[in-house]
Chains A and B, each alone.
Chain A
Amino acid sequence: MMAMSDPSVEAQRFFAARYGIDSARISSLLADALAQGGDFAELFFEHRTNGAISLEDQQIKSAARSVEQGLGIRVVKGESIGYAYTESLDPEAMRLAAGTAARIGDGGERPAAIDATPRGAGESYYGEEALLSDEPAAAKVALLERADRAARAYDASIARVDASIADERKIVLVARSDGQVIGDVQPLMRFNVMALSQRGESRQTARTGGGGRLGVEYFERITPEDTAREAARQAVLLQDAVDAPAGEVPVVLAAGDSGILLHEAIGHGLEADFNRKGTSNYTGRIGQPVASELVTVIDDATIAESRGSINVDDEGNPTKRNTLIEGGVLRGYLHDEISARHFGTAPTGSGRRQSFRHPIMPRMSNTLMLPGPSTPGEVIGSVERGIYCAAFSGGQVNISNGDFVFSTTEAYLIEQGRITAPLRTTNLIGNGPEALSRVSMVANDYVLSDGRWTCGKEGQSVPVGVGLPTVLVSAMTVGGTRLG
């Protein structure tokens, strides 16, 4: 294994060598940004390369590659922001953007020259043995073909397999008017498989995938065959699925991806921008019980190689493990610089953005619930009649009232404490604080999701992770079609 350089230093060298962005240029741009009396300014340089190859029905359908670079400039005045971006990193275009963002200021005095001193990164949470973006195309094609063969071999009914492999390498440099300059080089990879099962006229599809902030070593842990067989298994399972019940029943959430419940039921509501504005149903509730005593929720951007992890956030702050709920009591929010200043607290390293085109917001990273005392068998065994949810297609929440939904793609009936018939795809609906107060059992089998989740907020997408042990929610509304 090759010794890796400090990603912050690597990013600084990259932008200096390719675009001439050095300390003098940074200081001059920050001065332009504050020239009209802003309180704080920040430059976010980004260079991103994305590659993707897709296999459809045993053919490599296409290969794609995109390169994007640009600079986003934010000027803060009180709690207002001016924002401008440019895709061109030539000095004139950058100065123009700084002038545009500066307009949020109140015309106050030009500040003194800013000393922009780069610093190194701390720990790196990325696995970087061999980046997928550096792999030859033929190697990626081979991974896709392995997935195709494995899914077809799983069951004779598998009539079609689509698979794709995607990689990203994002180099960022954050320079702030308080003198901090820090960079990062963020790898991200993803492998997806869709399988179609056909029995007579009945067609069922299922898709799954995974990845994270690491390289090809991912495939040593989870092989293309593992992912492909999982997609095929779910598609075949749906062939025998029965109608889901309608109405309130006990719901057991399997360990892992069910963490989407936390993401929707409480995670978004604890993003401090909503609380700063008083628009979240968790506003003003720090120190109060908001969940069952069994519930401890963490947002942790430092989990090695997880899709939601980052070394530094997009405001240049180091990331960390933040406790949101401890034993059912609300402990804190997720902050960016603006909300932290509003609440008189420290930033939590949660300032994120989709790209240089987008302003910062507080966002989740990897949101998870700590394990509890029960065994998964005890949790399932305790349910007379309910449902067991194992895989999901997505979720959504209304921040203001806490009502949330998530949609299952793999779920089963529980009858007399045993998992029985698979259920057709259905939706679950609940209210955040209510659902978390109904968490009546938590098992000892915590699992982090494989890297497949993307979170959308106000039109901005960022990669995230979720994690959960097996959990019983004593009652939730299941949106099936079977009454009684």
Chain B
Amino acid sequence: MAEAAPLERARQAVALATGLGGEQCDAFAVAHTEATVSVRLGEIEKLIEASSQTLGLRVIAGGRTAVCSTSDFSPAVFERFVADTVELARISAPDEYAGLPERELLATGGAGALQLYDERIESLALEERIEMARTCEAAALAFDPRITNSEGASVSTHAGEVALANSEGFAASYPATSISLATEALADDTDGKKRNAWWFSAERSLRGLMDPETVGRIAAQRAIDQLGARKAETRRAPVIFEPMMAARLAGDVASCATGGALYRGATFLAGRAGERVGSPLVTIVDDPTEPARAGSRPFDGEGVAARRTAIFHEGRFEGFLFDCYTARRAGSRTTGSAQRGVASLPEPGPANLIFQPGSTPAEEIVADTREGLLVTALMGFGFNPTTGDYSRGVAGFWIENGAIAYPVAEANISGDAATMLASIDAVGSDLTWFGSAAAPTVRLAEMTVSGV
């Protein structure tokens, strides 16, 4: 028996809900298959395979909103689910800002140019995936005799269909695939500690995926590089974020640049749109239209056409990422930034967050640093979006006279986000993508480094 496509289900949910008095509704439906293989020390550790179909329905009636989700599509249960959602909306208060996007904002183009789907991923045989994981782990274990153990390597694939329909007549869907490959290598240090490092590659297409051996070797190299790590001395010093860590810094800042954080009063960027916050080297954009990236999409979680949005341009804070609700609250317009899960209301957030590169080669940034900390790992939740207070555990390397002197562990860096953005004095040319984020090497002129 052929299963109904997600788009058909989404349309059906909207039609049923409209018939029951849901004035404005939209349904977000996802169907996908996932497959994971994990290999450890050459042996298969885990094989996971499943397919999944879920649908989330938002109903707005008289300004009152409810959102419900289900994975049971038997006709009787599904009809009751829709009726329950319409009924549930009565609980909430009328909210003048609640509502679907204005019709002219809805996407009309397809996902064709975005390269979100690769049929090779769907047809990748189990044996091929096992081989990729084995090759990756073996490359890590063979890299250096000091690599003594492994957390294994895994390959995960997803293939599915994302659909959205609303009561304004919008109905669209697109197929999407993804593949990821990851491994973690361990080395024994002389002080009895283990030094571990992982690496990964995550792409929409098999062609884009990093070669498994390279992923394994990078993980192994990073574990070896941490051997002999010491605590840092407590002091103020320049701090360099390698690209993956700079992408996380951009992510922290972007979480404060959303309409949700704005209307909740929970961002240090409130009231600063149009102001210079960062140094002129800081340009950060969100771009869901980048081809073939993990966050790329033709339309957002409300059907609004995806577009590129500048968050920071040469240090100036350009404005917030909005969905329809938060835009109306701010007296602004949606930026097509609605993130949507089946079980929750849309919330604005970045799709593909890009910290734009500069022109300085990364090696020159290190060579140009007399003393400082190069950060290669961040730990913890020490970021307060309301104030921008930033305090995180780090590991990396101490730099002396423009060269790496020794690895550092169990250190902490702290500052506040506005000062940190303003103090960026070097941005590398080495833009690197990590799934839905990209960044180059970035140096901050000064932060507090805590250690002994």
Chain A interface (Cβ within 8 Å of chain B)? Answer: 50, 53, 56, 59-70, 79-87, 97, 100, 103-104, 137-138, 141, 159-160, 162, 194, 196, 198, 203-205, 238, 244, 246-248, 277-279, 281, 357, 359, 393-396, 398, 400-407, 424-431, 477-483
B52 to chain A, nearest CB (A): 6
Contacts of B270 in A (CB 8 A): 203
- Name 4 extra pairs, CB < 8 A, besides A103-B47, A104-B47: A60-B93, A66-B343, A80-B45, A480-B448
Contact A279-B151, Cβ < 8 Å, known A248-B452, A394-B380, A396-B380? yes
Interface size class of B (residues with CB under 8 A): 35 or more
Contact A483-B236, Cβ < 8 Å, known A160-B264, A427-B414, A477-B452? yes
Contact A69-B379, Cβ < 8 Å, known A63-B92, A429-B412? no
Contact A483-B382, Cβ < 8 Å, known A160-B265, A426-B391, A427-B393? no
Contacts of A100 in B (CB 8 A): 49-50
A67 to chain B, nearest CB (A): 6
Residue B432 at the A interface, CB < 8 A?
A: no
State in angstroms the CA–CA spacing of A64 and B91 once bound together. 10
Stretch of B60-68, B244-252, B288-296, B421-429 that contacts chain A: B60-68
Residue A403 contacts which of B43, B68, B126, B393 (CB distance < 8 angstroms)?
B393
Name 26 interchain pairs, CB-CB below 8 A, sorted by A: A59-B95, A60-B91, A60-B92, A62-B66, A63-B67, A66-B343, A80-B43, A80-B47, A83-B48, A104-B44, A159-B265, A400-B196, A401-B194, A403-B410, A404-B393, A406-B380, A424-B387, A425-B384, A427-B391, A431-B410, A477-B410, A479-B393, A479-B412, A480-B448, A481-B391, A483-B235
Residue B265 contacts which of A198, A396, A480 (CB distance < 8 angstroms)?
A198
Contact A429-B410, Cβ < 8 Å, known A246-B234, A401-B196, A407-B381? yes
State in angstroms the CA–CA spacing of A215 and B342 once bound together. 27
Contacts of A194 in B (CB 8 A): 264
Contacts of B414 in A (CB 8 A): 244, 246, 426-427, 479-481
Residue B451 at the A interface, CB < 8 A?
A: yes
Listed residue (A398, A404, A431) with the most chain B CB atoms within 10 angstroms of its CB:
A398
Contacts of B214 in A (CB 8 A): none
State in angstroms the CA–CA spacing of A141 and B93 once bound together. 10
Nearest residue, chain B, Cβ from A73: B50
Q: Is the CB of B410 within 8 A of A396?
A: no
Residue B91 contacts which of A141, A160, A204, A357 (CB distance < 8 angstroms)?
A141
B190 to chain A, nearest CB (A): 13
Contact indicator per residue, chain B 404-447, by CB within 8 Å of chain A (1) or not (0): 00000111111110000000000000000000000000000000
Contacts of B415 in A (CB 8 A): 481
State in angstroms the CA–CA spacing of A406 and B54 once bound together. 35
Nearest residue, chain A, Cβ from B233: A247
Contacts of B83 in A (CB 8 A): none
Interface residues in B230-263 by Cβ distance below 8 A to A read 231, 234-236
Listed residue (A203, A427, A482) with the most chain B CB atoms within 10 angstroms of its CB:
A427
Residue B386 at the A interface, CB < 8 A?
A: yes
Residue B46 contacts which of A83, A160, A203, A477 (CB distance < 8 angstroms)?
A83
Stretch of B17-25, B69-77, B276-284, B351-359 that contacts chain A: B69-77
Nearest residue, chain A, Cβ from B392: A427
Q: Is the CB of A405 within 8 A of B379?
A: yes
Residue B89 at the A interface, CB < 8 A?
A: yes
Contact A359-B48, Cβ < 8 Å, known A246-B414, A396-B393? yes
Q: Is the CB of B393 within 8 A of A53?
A: no
State in angstroms the CA–CA spacing of A192 and B95 once bound together. 22
Nearest residue, chain A, Cβ from B197: A400
Contact A82-B391, Cβ < 8 Å, known A141-B91, A407-B382, A477-B450? no
Listed residue (B45, B231, B343, B389) with the most chain A CB atoms within 10 angstroms of its CB:
B389
B186 to chain A, nearest CB (A): 6
State in angstroms the CA–CA spacing of A246 and B95 once bound together. 46
Contacts of B416 in A (CB 8 A): 481
Nearest residue, chain B, Cβ from A399: B196
Residue B266 at the A interface, CB < 8 A?
A: yes
Nearest residue, chain A, Cβ from B66: A63
Listed residue (B44, B81, B386, B392) with the most chain A CB atoms within 10 angstroms of its CB:
B386
State in angstroms the CA–CA spacing of A400 and B235 once bound together. 27
Contacts of A279 in B (CB 8 A): 149, 151, 186, 194, 196
Contact A63-B88, Cβ < 8 Å, known A196-B265, A246-B414? yes
Q: Is the CB of A62 within 8 A of B235?
A: no
Listed residue (B66, B194, B416) with the most chain A CB atoms within 10 angstroms of its CB:
B194
State in angstroms the CA–CA spacing of A87 and B71 once bound together. 7
Q: Is the CB of B47 within 8 A of A398?
A: no
Residue B195 at the A interface, CB < 8 A?
A: yes
Listed residue (A80, A244, A401) with the most chain B CB atoms within 10 angstroms of its CB:
A401
Contacts of A278 in B (CB 8 A): 149
Q: Is the CB of B387 within 8 A of A393?
A: no
Contact A205-B381, Cβ < 8 Å, known A63-B89, A64-B343, A427-B412? no
Q: Is the CB of B72 within 8 A of A69?
A: yes
Residue B193 at the A interface, CB < 8 A?
A: yes
Residue B344 at the A interface, CB < 8 A?
A: yes
State in angstroms the CA–CA spacing of A64 and B194 once bound together. 45
Q: Is the CB of B45 within 8 A of A79?
A: yes
A122 to chain B, nearest CB (A): 31
State in angstroms the CA–CA spacing of A405 and B382 once bound together. 9
Considering the complex of A and B, which 4 residue pairs feature the smallest CB-CB distances, nearest first? A479-B412, A427-B382, A405-B380, A247-B234
Contact A407-B391, Cβ < 8 Å, known A70-B71, A80-B43, A477-B450? yes
Residue B275 at the A interface, CB < 8 A?
A: no
Contacts of A103 in B (CB 8 A): 47, 126
Residue B40 at the A interface, CB < 8 A?
A: yes
Contacts of B54 in A (CB 8 A): 87
Nearest residue, chain B, Cβ from A426: B391
